[in-house]
Amino acid sequence: MSLTLPPARRETEASGSPDKRRNALHEACQVWECGYSIPCFSVIVGTVSTSSNLYALPSWPAGARTAFGATANCSNAPLTPGGKVTLTQFVSRGFDYDHSCI
């Protein structure tokens, strides 16, 4: 797996401990904490072929800040080919909520 970091972090993180490299990946991608990111998901899992166990799995993206945003995210592309967005998530008043897309 390759990871492109900002120039200032590249040298430090590339030669660092596994924990530092893992933290660098987390900061660069922030898939789960900061929302729905297909490009970053692809960095983590690579290309998903039709023979993959990940192919056609349902997706449930987080990251919306409102119920309206969660509803809109139902029309986003799924994380994996052949999949479908079936559930979205949003945060309101400090609580996580789910929104069904089916």
* Ramachandran category for residue 43: left, alpha or beta (phi over 0 → left; psi -120 to 50 → alpha): alpha
Output the pLDDT for position 61: 85
pLDDT per residue over 30-85, tens digit each?
Answer: 444 445 555 667 777 788 899 988 899 898 888 899 999 999 999 988 888 899 99
The residues spanned by each domain of the chain are: 50-102
Asked if pLDDT for residue 98 goes beyond 70, the answer is yes
Tokens of 74: 């139902």
Tokens of 3: 């990871």
Spatial CA neighbour of 76 closest among 49, 93, 99: 99
Q: How many other β-carbons are positioned within 10 Å of the β-carbon of residue 91?
A: 15
The SS3 assignment for 95 reads: strand
DSSP structure string for 67-89: HHHHHHHTTSPPSSTT-EE-EEE
